[in-house]
Copies of this chain bind each other. A is one copy, B any other.
Amino acid sequence: MNIRGNAYEELMGFQRKTEALGQVSGRLGWDQETTMPRGAAEQRAEEMAAMESVLHARRTDPRIEGWLEEAQPSDPVGQAQLRHIRRSFLRNTKIPSRLAEELAALTSRAQGIWAEARAHNDVAAFLPALKQVITLRREEAACLAQGGDLYDALIDDYEPGATAASLGAMFDGMRPRLVELRGTVLEAEHQPDTLQGHFDSASQMRLARELATAFGYDWSRGRLDLAVHPFSSGSGSDARITTRVVESDPFNCFYSTIHEVGHACYELGINPDYALTPLGAGVSMGVHESQSRIYENQLGRSRAFTGWLMGRMRSQFSDFNAKDADAFYGTVNKVRAGYIRTDADEVQYNLHIMLRFDLERALISGDLAVEDLEAAWNDRFRADFGFPVDKPSNGVLQDVHWAIGLFGYFPTYSLGNLYAGCLHQAMRTALPELDGQLADGDTSAATGWLRENVQRHGGLYEPREVVARACGFAPHEGPLLDYLETKFRGIYNL
């Protein structure tokens, strides 16, 4: 006889409050990057550390072990909930509370230091903080890896099931065809025009809101603000997005917005029964990025949708160079030399990731000293992209990730691209009329297909499994590479 028949309900009740507190912590992070007064950074670090210590205590509460032993849900949803709780409990019980608190306080502070260093192109001002972050993350990884690979232990937090080896193999499979395509495209005789014009902030933000609406963003459960580095934040009924504005380059704002809408729509598309449970959030960073990428690239940068976008831009901006929809499509997708990962086109994006992947593996293993990071970045950049980095804000200081301790996170961006390629192939088969809809600015069939086949499941399936179920085949790099070659050979008349 089961004397604790309600172990599952007790566990889920406990977990629900933990999830709610996790949302609070996420909201603090949003506040820090959008609205917080600058002078509040030190106090905020203490607030974040206090929240982290509360969350850590709950995530390692000894009662969880007993509940996990006794809970016997018979349905797949309950079993999936337990799988997530068990994984989280095992990870968290390996990390000392003191370390979790230190990391929260440190990364909160380091983010402010990074922002200042980036603004002043002052790498030296950032390195001491980065060094501390790496020290603590290595310490954390050692607790988790228990003799195994440190970097694998860090990846596992973002992409359960992935390893440095599997990701390295993925990059090996992608690199030759991408390098070849990039070379061909950059040397092609026909080169699309660069966008010329001035695009005022207010009109960009107005059109960004229109784009978010066109991609089905639910404004009653979200909002759009400005941030240095665009991000999305929150689950359940509060999934917010940010973007940025560069007056010479409206595509930066527009495609950052569509990208973050993809993330937010994933969260908002999850079965509402899963809200404030472990299934109520995107299942991994890779699957998350597949949604943002397919919204941004396969849909948002398609010939059909860019035709509609050109019309909307003409209604907002008095003068820019687009002689027709084909030329505008080329302009949107133009491949060009550039420093910034988040500005990169679809052909070169994954090369930016490979650079970061190799450097951060070396930082974590200890093969690369923090003092040598800038030089290593600059050398590798020149080797991969063919020209030198001009200033740190275009180089090693461009991303916030390392400042906030995100090591093992970058490769999930490329994994997301790979998944997006697979999902796009399956979606095109399922929706033969899609281009006609996108040409009218109507993404509802596409986003509906993604919601039905991917988003609504939340954490129900393992990352690769949810993509495989949606596609009907095991994910691999072929569809992405085929799509890129067809698309860019078309644009460049090859």
Contact = CB atoms under 8 A, between A and B. Distances in A.
A35 B223 contact: yes
A51 B238 contact: no
A24 B35 contact: no
In the complex, the count of this chain's copies comes to: 2
A220 interface: yes
Q: Is the interface of A mostly helix, strand, loop or mixed?
A: helix
Given A40-B237, A238-B36, A51 B220 contact: no
Interface string A269-285: 00000011000000000
Contact of A222 (B37, B42, B220): B37
A229 interface: no
Interface in A203-230: 218-223, 225
A37 B20 CA distance: 17
A116 to B, nearest CB: 13
B17 A50 contact: yes
Contacts of A37: 219-223, 237-238, 240
A142 interface: no
Contact of A24 (B17, B28, B218, B220): B28
A237 B32 CA distance: 13
Contacts of A38: 220
Nearest to A35: B223
A147 interface: no
Interface string A34-72: 011111101110110111011000000000000000000
A275 B47 CA distance: 12
B238 A40 contact: yes
Contacts of A236: 40, 43
A237 B53 contact: no
Given A238-B44, A276-B46, A51 B39 contact: no
Given A17-B53, A238-B40, A47 B23 contact: yes
A27 interface: yes
Nearest to A223: B37
Nearest to A236: B43
A353 interface: no
Given A21-B54, A27-B28, A46-B20, A35 B36 contact: no
B39 A218 contact: yes
A482 interface: no
A440 interface: no
A180 to B, nearest CB: 46
Contacts of A240: 37
A380 B42 CA distance: 50
A437 B51 CA distance: 45
A50 B40 CA distance: 24
A427 B28 CA distance: 40
Interface in A412-455: none
A31 interface: yes
Contacts of A42: 237
A264 B24 CA distance: 24
A17 to B, nearest CB: 5
B237 A51 contact: no
Nearest to A50: B20
Contacts of A21: 47, 50-51, 54
Contacts of A223: 35, 37
Contacts of A39: 218, 220-221, 237-238
Interface in A127-181: none
Interface string A296-338: 0000000000000000000000000000000000000000000
5 contacts: A24-B47, A27-B27, A27-B47, A37-B238, A43-B238
Given A24-B47, A37-B223, A42-B237, 9 more contacts: A16-B46, A20-B50, A27-B28, A37-B219, A37-B220, A37-B238, A40-B236, A43-B236, A54-B54
